[in-house]
Amino acid sequence: MRIAVTATPSQLGFAAILWRGDVAGAFRAASELGCQGVELHLRHADDIDLDCLKRLMADSRLEVPTLGTGLAAGLDGLTLSDLEESIRRAAVERVAGHVRLAAELGSAVIIGFLAGRLGASDDQQRRTRRAWALEGLAVLCRAAQPLGVTVLLEPLNRYESDYINTLSDAAGILREIGAPNLKLLADTFHMNIEEADLAASLRAAGSRVGHVHLADTNRQAPGHGHLDIAGVLGALDEIGYKGYLSFEVYPLPNARRAVEDGIAAIHAATGGHAERSQP
Ligand code: LER
Ligand code: MN
């Protein structure tokens, strides 16, 4: 399995991102700790200098497998389901920037929080807002396709999304949109809240799983909660998943220790044979 740490250039307070405001530090630590990638969460694609980032990647021989877009929703209120057309359009334009950057870096682009909410309004309005979100997603997939960029749709727990909570919800949207470059992101923190059986859900999602956020039940590093890590990794092995396990977790007790503990927990769960699944 390949491991990615998470980082953002944004100076945030407490968030489930390991390195905040110190992307270079994330690359240094990830390399020293034997990881293979750094997942970057960007409010705006211009928040990072491309030449500088490419140098960090080359010097550390690390990949940037994924670009997160949730900060554009969390900090700027941009979502694909907003009632205001101008905001929906701004959300698509913002993420189109992430898609162009992803093409330069060989990354996939995550749509989670940015898919927005439908609100507690009447059913007709919920249907309309869902259709708007799916249209925005489809536009982004079409823009990403010729650039060779994969878009990852991430189900979130009920406190963060009111319409895409399970892998099955998201798989339904994949079918509706029918874009070959749209895949699923399975986040074990959200899955622990929403899925009846994590391993069964992963098996059902099968080859549609394009990326994994591996967090324990309390959103700390794997091993800090009560997630059945062996069960999750076993199911990923069964479906032939060869992608990244990205530590989208709180930096507790600190970022380095979280990564060390997470890797140790993976090794313990796989009997030290995690290398087995390397592509
Ligand atoms: C993003 O990957 C995620 O998991 C969401 O909870 C964002 O807040
Ligand atoms: Mn996530």
**Domain residue spans of the chain:** 2-270
Backbone φ and ψ for 41, nearest 5 degrees, come out as -105, 115
CB of 27 closer than 6 angstroms to any ligand 1 atom: no
Give me the chain's average pLDDT, please: 96
Strand partners, 152: 110, 183
The answer, yes or no, to whether any atom of ligand 1 lies below 6 A from the CB of 41, is no
Antiparallel, parallel or unpaired: β 108-111 and 66-68: parallel
Ligand 1 atom at minimum distance from 185 CA? 2
How many angstroms is it from 185 CA to the middle of ligand 2? 8
Residue with CA at minimum distance from ligand 1 atom 2: 112
- Give me ligand 1 centre to Cα 93, in Å: 20
**Closest C-alpha residue for ligand 1 atom 1:** 112
For residues 247 and 259, is the Cβ–Cβ distance under 8 A? yes
Residue in this structure with the two tokens 């909660």, named with its chain if needed: 225
CA of 193 to the centre of ligand 2 (A): 13
H or E element in which residue 70 lies: helix 70-76
Paired tokens of 173: 């949207």
Residues 234, 271: Cα–Cα separation, whole Å: 12
The first and second tokens of residue 278, run together, are 């390397």
- Using a 6 Å cutoff on CB, does residue 117 contact ligand 1? no
Q: From its phi and psi, is residue 107 left (phi > 0), alpha (psi between -120 and 50) or beta?
A: beta
pTM of the model: 0.96
β-partners of residue 119 are: none
Does ligand 1 come within 6 angstroms of the Cβ of 155?
no
Active site amino acids: 154, 248
79 and 88 in contact (C-beta within 8 Å)? yes
Residue spans of the chain under pLDDT 50: 275-279
Peptide bond just before 180 cis, omega within 30 deg: no
What pLDDT does 273 receive?
Answer: 59
Nearest ligand 1 atom, CA 74? 8
Evaluate: CB of 156 within 6 angstroms of ligand 1. yes
What stretches of 90-145 adopt beta strand conformation (E)? 108-111
How confident is the model at residue 276, as a pLDDT?
A: 38
Atom of ligand 1 nearest to the CA of 15: 8
CATH code of the domain occupying 2-270: 3.20.20.150
Ligand nearest to the CA of 112: 1
Q: How many CA atoms within 13 Å lie on the side-chain side of 195? A: 26
Nearest to 170 by CA among 134, 119, 139, 216: 134
Instruction: State residue 235's pLDDT score.
Output: 98
